Amino acid sequence: MTRDSETSLKTRKKLHIQTWGCQMNVYDSQRMEGLLRPLGYEVSDSPEGADLVILNTCHIREKAAEKVYSALGRLKKMKDAKEQQGGQMRIAVAGCVAQAEGAEITARAPQVDLVFGPQSYHKLPEMIALAARQKGDILETEFEVEDKFDVLAKDRKVEGYSAFVTIQEGCDKFCTFCVVPYTRGAEVSRSVDSITGEIRALVAQGVREVTLLGQNVNAYHGQSPAGSGSETFGLGALLRHLAKIDGLDRLRFTTSHPRDMDEDLISAFGEEEKLMPYLHLPVQSGSDKILKAMNRGHKAEDYLRLIEKIRAARSDIALSGDFIVGFPGETQADFEETMALIRESQYASAFSFKYSRRPGTPGAVMAKQVAEDEKDARLQALQGLLEEQKHAFNAGCVGKVLPVLLESKGRIDGQLNGRSPYLQGVHLAAKDHLLGQIVPVRILATKTNSLTGQLVSGYGQSDGVGHTEVGQGFEGGQGVRS
């Protein structure tokens, strides 16, 4: 594959990307930026005056398409204004709404120049060139496509110390509430070499923590490196492989399906110090009847036993989940089973939703849809319980020393923000020269969504010399020290 193409477009152009939805979309947007930079595009925070605006959309929530159309209405005014001044603004709609709505978008919003789904991002320069030619512009690019992941991984610039890397896309699970298998398509995994190459490049830019992304990340089965003795690597093998990268200190992954949590992956939690003790493992419901109707492919008991095994490998793991209340046919008794499962599992954090009918999914046409006020009441009760559990988890950290990766400056001068191994945000007083380091922090208190702490006494308060950084030698690895 060659992508060092010359382009006749020498002038700088402004690119604005608005991103909705999941981390995968955030990642894709970064990737699109990387792809467009060599074509002369500079990223702008605002659509005002931009030459190209991309709406990277998400279809998982209700009214997603409507939000996109109202954003397009606002953009039309800016586009018209720019054209009146003799300029040009191209508007593109990308992501899952683009995939789902297709030509409907340009029919309803003629100001849109380009519509493309998640599988075509790597063709973006070609598509832009084509749109430009159709409008009479001259833009010559030569672009040969190999595979989406490799093309997108090139030229990626990141800021900060923590980055996301997509390793797998799409899903074949077909949960009956979910649009992902229709919008993101069948499951594809990226090769181990390509992931390793991208992460090495990120580490060279200062990244210390990587979160591996995939709609169904633990179904990963990518081509293994030559000579490894097996054709593909699962997620456990991939994590062990990536843990060998010098300069990379923390690994995370999301989102997982209970059915794909294999023994190798579970044991990695106990064995790989760089693998952070945090696991997002959605169960959606605690009722076997509802799990079946959702086509989740496991029972509540299977999930509970799985959590036991994971805790046996890594006792301090912070468990996170997703829940849906009010799936068609869910009775109060079914809901109580979800509450019971939550009580038994003990979550450190969680996301919960009212079921919403996604057109084209089996759930949307199921009988016994649950009344809205019933869903509201269940969601409130469920979130109350999950909040209590989150608070208890956070409170359990008070008084302990946690290794915190300092990621950004705080809102107050002299304050930095970081992340604990359990993905909690931690605020503390610390000097800027510590940014990007993993430091020992004594946790003092919990706030609603974060922790406050202080540097362990004497640590890093000077000018940045004469201290040893907390890393793998830290007592208890990157877990808790009490």
- Least distance (Å) from ligand 5AD to the CB of residue 338? 12
- Least distance (Å) from ligand 5AD to the CB of residue 431? 38
DSSP assigned state of 258: G
**In terms of CB distance, is 178 or 434 closer to ligand SF4?**
178
Among 54, 105, 175, 402, binds ligand SF4 (CB under 6 A): 175
Helix 23-36 × helix 124-134 angle, to 10° = 60
Instruction: Give CA–CA dist 223/231, Å, rounded.
Output: 6
Instruction: Give CA–CA dist 373/363, Å, rounded.
Output: 19
Q: Scanning residues 349 to 368, which ones bind ligand 5AD (CB under 6 A)?
A: 353, 355-356, 358
Instruction: Give CA–CA dist 141/408, Å, rounded.
Output: 38
Among 68, 152, 178, 266, binds ligand SF4 (CB under 6 A): 178
Question: Which residues in 58-208 belong to E strands, given as ranges?
Answer: 90-94, 114-116, 162-166, 168-169, 188-189
Number of residues that bind ligand 5AD (CB under 6 A): 11
Instruction: Name the binder of 356 from ligand SF4, ligand 5AD, none, CB < 5-8 A by kind.
Output: ligand 5AD
Asked if residue 53 lies in contact with residue 76, where contact means CB atoms within 8 angstroms, the answer is no
Instruction: Give CA–CA dist 451/81, Å, rounded.
Output: 47
40: left (phi over 0), alpha (psi -120 to 50) or beta: left
Fill in the per-residue mask, 276 to 315: x = in contact with ligand 5AD (CB under 6 A), - = not in contact. Answer: ------x-x-------------------------------
- Least distance (Å) from ligand 5AD to the CB of residue 238? 22
- Least distance (Å) from ligand SF4 to the CB of residue 181? 5
Diameter of the chain measured on Cα atoms: 68
Q: Tokens in use for 282?
A: 């959605």
Instruction: Name the binder of 355 from ligand SF4, ligand 5AD, none, CB < 5-8 A by kind.
Output: ligand 5AD
Fill in the per-residue mask, 193 to 222: x = in contact with ligand SF4 (CB under 6 A), - = not in contact. Answer: ----------------------xx------
**By CB under 6 A, residue 219 contacts ligand 5AD:** no
- Least distance (Å) from ligand 5AD to the CB of residue 325? 9
Please choose, out of 94-102, 170-178, 197-205, 349-357, the segment that lies near ligand SF4 by the rule CB under 6 A: 170-178
**By CB under 6 A, residue 322 contacts ligand 5AD:** yes
Instruction: Name the binder of 353 from ligand 5AD, ligand SF4, none, CB < 5-8 A by kind.
Output: ligand 5AD
**In terms of CB distance, is 211 or 446 closer to ligand 5AD?**
211
Asked if residue 279 lies in contact with residue 318, where contact means CB atoms within 8 angstroms, the answer is yes
Asked if residue 306 lies in contact with residue 261, where contact means CB atoms within 8 angstroms, the answer is yes
Instruction: Extract long-range pairs of 108-111: CB within 8 Å, 24+ residues apart.
Output: 108/69, 109/69, 109/72, 109/73, 109/76, 111/72, 111/75, 111/76, 111/79
- Can you tell me whether residue 315 is helix, strand or coil? coil
**By CB under 6 A, residue 7 contacts ligand 5AD:** no
267: nearest Cα among 212, 218, 313: 313
Q: Scanning residues 220 to 249, which ones bind ligand 5AD (CB under 6 A)?
A: none
- Least distance (Å) from ligand SF4 to the CB of residue 439? 36
Q: Tokens in use for 356?
A: 């919403």
**By CB under 6 A, residue 177 contacts ligand 5AD:** yes
Instruction: Name the binder of 358 from ligand 5AD, ligand SF4, none, CB < 5-8 A by kind.
Output: ligand 5AD
Q: Residue holding tokens 């999301």?
A: 254
- Least distance (Å) from ligand 5AD to the CB of residue 249? 28
Instruction: Give CA–CA dist 132/330, Å, rounded.
Output: 52
Q: List contacts with ligand SF4 (CB under 6 A).
A: 171, 173-175, 178, 180-181, 215-216, 257
Q: What residues line the site for ligand 5AD (CB under 6 A)?
A: 60, 177-178, 282, 284, 322, 324, 353, 355-356, 358
